[in-house]
Structures are given as structure tokens and as C-alpha cells.
Structure 1
Amino acid sequence: MNEPKRLHKLYVLFPFFSVMKSIIPILVLLIIKGVNWSKFPWYGYAAAIVVIVLPFVLYGWFTWRKFSYTLQEDRIVLRRGIFVREEKSIYFSRIHSIQTQQPLIQRILRLAQLKIETPGGNAEADGVLPALAIAEAERVEQWLYQKRSEAAKKEEAPAAAEYAHEHAHHEEGESPEQNEGVIQEGPAPLVQREREVLLRLSAGRLFAGALTTMNLPLVVVFGTGVYSFADDLLPDHFYSSLVERAGQLSAIWWLGLVPVMFLLAWILSAVLFTIKYAGFTVEQEGGNITIVSGLLDRKKHVFSPGKVQAVEVKEGLLRQPFGYAEVEIFVLTSETEKKMMLHPLLPLRDVNELLARIVPQFELQPPVTCPPKRALWLFMRWKLLGAAVLGTAGTVFLGPTGALLFLLLPLCAVWGYGCFKDEGMSIQGKLLTLRHRTISRSTALMRRPHVVTVNTVATSGQRSKSLLSVRAKLMVNRIGFKAVFLEREQANAVKDWFRQASAFMKR
């Protein structure tokens, strides 16, 4: 394993594909503009292909030749660079996680990308092998995980040797040398780890789960990309004429258009969600949990169940009446994506069964303490005020039609009452449960060793009613989770629960 290895030969094409991603929009623009391609001679096209393709393929070839990786007994060594040579050694004991991914280019070429991350590394990972055959990527990943485990055992070996030496004389017929021989083992051969599929979701199940919620961030990102691309294609007067025509439409037409646009955005978000999480699979391999998903950009997240710091169970407006929820986990990892979906649409009664199979240290329990009745007005006041302001503004600017906005008052009253009924918290040993509703009902489960801070806040309205709001923050979620307008004793109980961990650490 000490011999230098190179990436897959198709890595030669990577610089060319990177440039093509910038050229394709220009070609599309020229096609839409109706450029007469026949007026250019054939040798002009040939020259353009040579000028564009050849330099980048040559650059890719030199990059491929100068990129190598070596698997040694205690580290992986990466060497790269054409003019400036760079050598990076990543010791197995420092490896935090290994991620196998398939971005679009790798997926087209049937390759995989391996990312090696260490604690405190940068956002782009400390070591990247951008083009490996899928089988080779799995083999290297398995090797790194095994060597990391062996490195961790070696760090524990001195303590184990001391323990064996102390108890050697109590074992009849054994000498200290024999005990040392049991501990000092040679390097273990590469062991094939057993893989068990814990969960696999079909595209239909993903689409059904996506239809029960509005994935607005996906729509915004997609719409921004389409607008940026269309802005280069459409004429300058297009937007001004569009705004002029929109201003000529009647209010009734707009009232009909808004639901149609909302429906289209809803369906589009469901399609994008299904593409993002296509092939969603959760596996258990060698004591680690693996989550694989993605149609165009396939990602593989590997983590230990002990790295999961919190579980969030979300019940949307369309899910809660039918008893369904979405389950997400927050994982301590060096990746920027620390929140991962565990299931998009699961009966609430089956959540604990899912958690027991994947993260058994968490258990969903209903809150045992809820806000007192005197807190009801605090849940409703701002919602009612917002509805009253909208109704007043609608009446002033739109007349009797705008007065229909006052119908939001009873809806906001129901909304506030629902927030009041759903708020709550519970403490069971080291497990803290906080439940809160903004629009969807969210139940957060977190364990005491992972909680970084616990804060209590009281506004003037809360102080007058002897109420407190509590917020618990994690390392992977600095915003944290909260429960509001609780009894002062209940909120302080969370702070006392957190102080137990601080007192234990001081010992």
C-alpha cells in the first residue's frame, strides 16, 4: 500500500468540463439569437475546437500526471502541483470523517470523489481525491476507516498494557510477556465491513413527503438561477413591458393568479426536493451510519451515532392532522451541512422505532409541562395586531375589497391558540425536549453533554405574568431551540438541568 497511486485517467477531462460549464450558456444565447452558423467555414470550427479543447486537455493531463496519493501505515500522503509541488500528509489518527460524493461531472463519468476531513479543517476539506473509480473509492474509504480505528486503539494501548501488567500475576499459568503478546498485535488485514440497509425511500415516497410542505429555499435558489440565466437571454425592454401589462390587470385577475402561482411553486418545490434526495438510503456499516442521496449531485454522509447532537421532529400544517412528521438530525461534523434529513414523511407513532434503529440515545416523548393559561394572550397579541394592521391598510387603499383582510383576525386567533396548546418542554434524565410552533410544530430532542448554553429571557409582558422563555444552543446549531412563555420554575429547571453537566465537568 506504500506505492504512489494516480487518479482515474478521466480526470484529464475535468478542466475541459469546468470551462464548458461557462461556455454552454453562451452557446445557448447565440442559438436563441439566431446566429447563422453556416457562414463560418468548417476549418473555423475545427480551429475553435482545437483552441478550446487542446490546451485544457493538456493541462488536465499534466495535472493528472502530477497528482498522486500514497497509503502508508500511519498516514495518507497527497502530492500535486505542476509548477509548485505540494505535499500534504494526513495522519489516520487526525481524520474526522471521510465522505464519498458524486457531483455532476463525476456522476456523468461514473466516478467518485473522496473528501478527507480533520478537526479544525477548512470548508473545502483537508484532502480531496476528485476522480476515483467507484470501487477504488470504496476501497480507499474502507482502508482509511480501518486505519483510523487502529490508530485510536494504539492510543489506548499504553493504558491497556498497564492494566494487563497489573493483573498478569493474578492469572495462573500466564507470564507478563504472554499478556503483552496478546496486546501487541500486528497490523490487521483489510476487513470487509458488513453493510445493513436500515431505510430506503422510493421517489414516490419522497414526492409525497415533499407535497406536504413548501420547500421554499429550493424554489428560491432555482428561481434565482433561472432569472440570472434568463436575464442574459431576454431583451432589455422585456421586464418593463411585463410590468406595464401586469399593471393593467384587474384585482380579480390577480386574486386568481396568486393561487395558481402558489400551486406551481408548490409542485416545483416537490420536484426539486425529489431530485435532491433521490435514491435516499440509510445504511449501517462498521458501527457508522451512512446516508446516501441525490440524483444529479449524489452525496454520501458517514457519521457515528454518537456524533448526533439533536433530533428535530417537524409536523407541518398538512402533516399534523394525519399524524405524519419529518425527522431531521444535527450531526457534529466538519462539513458545512450539519443538518441532515432522516425521513421526509413518517407516521408519528413510528418515530421512536426509527430512532431506536439509528440513534437509540434519543426518544420522542410528549412535553409534560406546558405554558399556563395566563400566557394565552402573549401567544395571540402580535398575530392579532398584524391582522388588524393588514385589514386597516386594505380598507384604506382598496376599499370594501380590502376590508376582507379583516377575516384574518379569527384565523390569527386560531393560530395563536394552536401555538399556546403546542408549546411545552420535558426533562428525562439527560434528555431535554423542547416543543415550539411558529407555523409548523417542531419538537427538538437534545442530550445534556451536547448542549453548549441555556438562556432564559423575559420581556416586560412576561415579567408581569411571572413567565420565562428558555433557549438551548448546541455546537451544531447556534440559533438553538426554544420554548416560550413557561412558568418561571419550569424554565429555571432547564438551567438547573444544564448546571449538572457543568458541575460534573468541573470535577
Structure 2
Amino acid sequence: MSEKRRLHPAAILFTIVKMFKELIFTIGVGFFAFKEEGMAYFIIGGSALVIIALSFGILSWYRYTYRVEDEELRIEHGIIIRRKRYISKNRIQSIDLTQNVVHRLFKLVKVNIETAGSGMGSEASLKAVKLKTGEALREELKTAKKAATIESADAEQMEQDFPSETITKRRLFVAGTTSGSIGIIFIIFSVVFSDLDQFIPDSYYENTFNTIIGFSIIIITILVLALLLLLWLLGIAGTMIKYGNFTITKHPDELLITRGLLEKKQTTIPLRRIQAVGINESIIRQPFGYVTVYAEVAGGSIQKGEDFSTILFPIMKRTEVDDFLTKLLPEYVSERNKLKGLPAQAKTFYLVRSSMLLMLVAIAMLFLFPQFIWAPIIVLLLCMYIGLLRYKDAGFRIDGERLTLRSRVINRKTIILFHKRIQSFESKQYWLQKRASVATLKASIVSSFGAGTHYKIKDLSVDDAMEIADWYSFRDY
């Protein structure tokens, strides 16, 4: 690794594809703009663009070199302006390996290197190297000193000794079924089709609209149900592709997560960077007893995040969480089912807070559209039920240096964090809370790409808020 190396020639293809992806909208507009008399100009311009992209890809590949020297990863790149980047091994937080379909076809891998200050992207990214080279580079950069070469048989034996968890196909199907991604897919479909209308003749829309109007209510209902079924199946497929072959393995100083059917990803999570462990129970999965376990990890880039958190396991039974944490993160095993809840006077705050807006809407509709008053009333009752759930679920528990908090917006979330990980703590009251002797607390930690993540519990009793404040401010550990 001390000698200068170039990326695999397939990196040229990735560079060209990236360029065309960024210009796809411009190319589409140009095609429709010049599709009649100016088609010759479009072909000439397109050919010139292909030649430029090919030349840029080849030159970028040729000018990009990397090597490991003096405990640093040294990268040199740039066609006209030559840039040099030196990344010390001690600054590296994680090294992730990713394989899309093309990578796997040629037995290549993409290496993403992240440091504490990576920000919105990786500190360095090697688009295409051989799989063995990528694995060797990761092993060399993980240690401050280059380790001795280990025979493959011994390495396999060592790997077997590391505790790990793997998701089953049945659980993966359940995860897709209850993912709730149908709404997101529907929004994407809506956006895509709303942008297509400028390229499709009006006559097609008119004919389609007239055909639909001619259908009976039963046929329209069947079509709507078929569309919802299709979106649901797409959500299942997306989840299974994303989390297929999910495996999490605990190494001495890190967690290694491997997942993906089409695009295989290997994510490294240094144990020292884990700030908190959370348990997410979606409103769809909670009645069936399923949860998602995730971690808040300091440093890294936004590209690595899973909704700004890192999924440790996509779905498991609520009763299996303790065994999972005992195997991989035993210090985060908490008596989360024995939390101290909110006082009785807090219930009113939660009910009013969740339904105040709908009350105003219902009053307005009572005067403006009294015949439709039933609609906001139904939604109002649903919101009040959510408010009641928020009140019942909220709570906390202190175990030595460990703090467990639980709250709900729509999903119920339980977060487990340690005193040393909390960056700031805040307890506040507004005048109505003072009259009811309750307070709101907020604990903040450092999470993905250096930003802060905040955890709130509203309307705790003043005594409980003071207990947590005293725990944070004074300790005898």
C-alpha cells in the first residue's frame, strides 16, 4: 500500500455515469426542444458531450492516485489543479465498503472513509478498487500500526468467534409489510407523474380522463385498490432489497453491518462513537410486538445515516431486544419496562396539545359547512387518542450513569444514553406548567455528521425534573 495506486479502470465508467445523471434533465429538455428542425444540432451537441465526458473520465482516473505512507492515507487528484489530501489514521472514524451491481459484477468495491469532520459527505471515496484491495486497505487503516498478515483459515476461525445477528427472510418480509413506505412511494409517484404532463400530449390525458369517467364506481374502486396493492408490494420489495442479508457482527472495537441485495454495503461503527441506543416502535408494528433498534453515532457523514440514525437491526420482537443488546452492547441493557411515568395533571396538557388545532377547525366547519362536521370530529377523536398514548408512554429511569427516556410523537421511542454522552441538559417551565407543578426537560447529544440530537419529555413533575437535573449536575461516579 506504500506505492502509488490507481483506481480500477471501471472508475471511468462511474465518473461518466455520474456526469450524465447530473445532466439528465438538461439532456431531456434539449431533446424535446430540438426534436424537430434542430435535431441535427442536438446530435452534434450530444456527441460532443459524450467525447468530453469520456475524456474527463479517463483523465480523472489517470490523475487519481492513492497510497498509505507514514500512518496516513495520501490521495492526489485533479486534472488542471493538482490536489493532495492527507488523512491520518488516527482521525479515521469508519471505513465502509459498498458494492452496487456493477461493482459485484467485476468483483470491485467502493471505499468510503469518514472522519469526525466529514460533514455532508465522506472525507475520501475510492470509487472502484478490487475487493481484496479494499478489504486490505480497510484493515491497514483501522490500526495505527500495520498488523501482520493473517492466514485466511485463521481469519475465518476468528470471524466465527465474533457474536453476530442475522435477519431471516420471514422477518424481512414482515419488515417490508409493516414499513409504512406506501405513503412515501405514493408521493414519489405523484411528483414523477406531475412532471411528465409537460412531455405528454394533452389528447392522451383527455382520452384517459374520459375513459376513467366512463367506468363504474366498482371498477374505479378496484383500480384504486390495485394501485395501493402495487405500492404496498413495491414497499416490501424495497425493504427486502435494502436490508437483504442483513448481518451485524461485533468486533473488539467496532460493529460491522453488512446489508443489501443489489447494492451490498458494509458499514463500520466504532463502539467509542456510539452516543445512544434507541428502540423505535412504529404505530403499525407496535400492536404486533415488533421494534427497530438503532444507534446515534457521532461523526460520519449525512450520506451514511438512516434517517440520521444508524439501524442496528431493522426488525425484531420486543422481547428479543435484551438478548440482542446483551450479545452486542451489554452496557445498554436497561429496565425500560419499569419507567417512572408522568403525573396525573400532565394528561390535560397532552390532550389539549394534540387536539387544539382540530378543535378550531371543527368550530369553523360547524359554522361554514355543518353538513361535514363529522369529518373533523373523527380526526379530533383520533388526535386525542394519540395524545393519550403520548401521555401514557412518556417516562424515564435512572440507573447509575445510565438514563432511559421514552416519548412518542407518532411512533414510540425509547432512548438509552449515558451521563458522559450528554452534551447539555435543559429544564424549563412556562406559566401554565408552573401552576400545574410540571416541567419540560431536554437532553442533547452529538450525533450524525456532528449535529445535535435532542430528546424531550414534556410535563414531568417538578420533583422528577429536579431529580434528573441533580443526576446530571452532581454525581459520585
TM-score tier, shorter chain, comes to 0.7 to 0.9
Contact 2:355 2:380 in 1 (8 A): yes
Matches within 5 A, 1:240-251: none
The aligned counterpart of 2:403 is: 432
Q: Which residue of 2 aligns with 1:10?
A: 10
In percent, how many aligned pairs have the same letter? 23
Is the 1:395–1:403 contact (alpha carbons within 8 Å) kept by the matching residues of 2?
A: no
Superposed CA deviations along residues 188-214 of structure 1, whole A, max 9, x for unmatched, are 423465334612224542331233242
| Residue from 326, 336, 342 that aligns with 2:292 | 326
The alpha carbon displacement at 1:437 in A equals 1.8
Q: CA deviation at 1:350?
A: 0.7
| Native 8 Å contact 2:93 2:270 kept in 1 | no
Q: Which amino acid aligns with 2:323?
A: E
Structure 1 distance, partners of 2:218, 2:459, is: 42
The DSSP-based 3-state class of the residue aligned with 1:400 is: helix
Q: What is the alpha-carbon distance in structure 2 between the residues aligned to residue 4 and residue 100 of structure 1?
A: 21
2:455 is aligned with 1:484: no
Matched, 1:493 2:467: yes
Q: What is the alpha-carbon distance in structure 2 between the residues aligned to residue 267 and residue 457 of structure 1?
A: 46
Report the AA paired with residue 189 of structure 1.
A
Which structure has the larger Rg over C-alpha atoms? 1
- Partners of 2:462 and 2:213 in 1: how far apart? 53
Name the SS for the 2:300 alignment partner. Answer: coil
**Structure 1 residue identity aligned to 2:17:** F
Distance 1:216 1:199 in 2: 28
Question: Structure 1 residue 56 and structure 2 residue 26: aligned?
Answer: no
Matches within 5 A, 1:141-290: 141-146=138-143, 148=144, 150=145, 188-191=147-150, 194-195=158-159, 196=162, 198-202=164-168, 204-215=170-181, 218-219=184-185, 222-223=188-189, 226-227=192-193, 230-231=196-197, 233-235=199-201, 266-285=232-251, 287-290=253-256
Structure 1 distance, partners of 2:102, 2:355, is 52
Q: Distance in 2 between matches of 1:494 and 1:243?
A: 61
Q: Structure 2 unaligned runs (5+)?
A: none
Q: In the alignment, residue 491 of structure 1 is paired with which amino acid?
A: A
**2:137 is equivalent to residue 140 of structure 1:** yes
Identify the structure with bigger relative contact order (alpha carbons < 8 Å, sequence gap 6+): 2
Equivalence for 1:341:
311
2:424 is the counterpart of 1:450 = no
State the 1:413 CA deviation. Answer: 3.9
Residue 76 of structure 1 and its aligned partner are, at CA, apart by 2.1
CA RMSD of aligned residues (A): 4.1
CA deviation after TM superposition for structure 1 residue 231, in Å:
5.0
How far is the alpha carbon of 1:31 from its aligned partner?
Answer: 10
SS at match of 1:233: coil
Q: Shift of residue 361 of structure 1?
A: 1.5
TM-superposition CA deviations, 1:360-419 (whole Å, max 9, x none): 220132243111222221121233444433434444454434435423454444333322
- Name the stretch that deviates more: 6-15 or 348-357: 6-15
Q: TM-score, normalised by structure 2?
A: 0.81
Shift of 1:15: 3.2
CA pair 262-220 structure 1, distance change in 2 beyond 3 A: closer
Alpha-carbon distance in 1 for matches of 2:29, 2:173: 33
Equivalent residue in structure 2 for 1:115, among 102, 112, 115: 112
Decide whether aligned partners of structure 1 residues 65 and 281 sit closer, same or farther in structure 2, where only a CA change above 3 A counts.
same
Comparing 242-251 with 492-501, greater Cα deviation is found at 242-251
Secondary structure (helix, strand or coil) at the match of 1:96 reads strand
Give the one of 345, 349, 353 matched to 1:374: 345
The structure 1 residue matched to 2:333, chosen from 345, 356, 363, is 363
What secondary structure does 1:373 align onto?
coil
What is the match of residue 129 of structure 1?
Answer: 126
Distance 1:465 1:349, change over 3 A: same
The answer to whether the Cα contact below 8 Å between 1:95 and 1:118 also exists between their aligned partners in 2 is yes
State the alpha-carbon separation in 1 of the partners of residues 375 and 236 from structure 2.
31
> Relative to structure 1, is the Cα distance of residues 5 and 125 closer, same or farther in structure 2, using a 3 angstrom cutoff?
same
Contact (CA 8 Å) 1:29, 1:233: kept in 2 or not? no
Q: Give the 3-state SS of the residue equivalent to 1:328 in structure 2.
A: strand
Deviation at 1:451, TM superposition (A): 0.6
Which residue of structure 2 aligns with residue 312 of structure 1? 278
After superposition, the Cα gap between the structure-2 partners of 1:345 and 1:460, relative to the gap in structure 1 and judged at 3 Å, is same
- C-alpha change, 1:354 and 1:266, in structure 2 (3 Å) is same
Q: Which runs of 5+ in 1 are unaligned?
A: 151-186
How many aligned positions are there? 458
Gap change, CA 1:126 and 1:414, over 3 Å in 2:
closer
Per-residue deviation, residues 294-329 of structure 1 (Å, max 9, x unmatched): 345443220122321111112222322232212111
Q: Secondary structure at the match of 1:61?
A: helix
Aligned to 2:452, the other structure's residue is in SS state coil
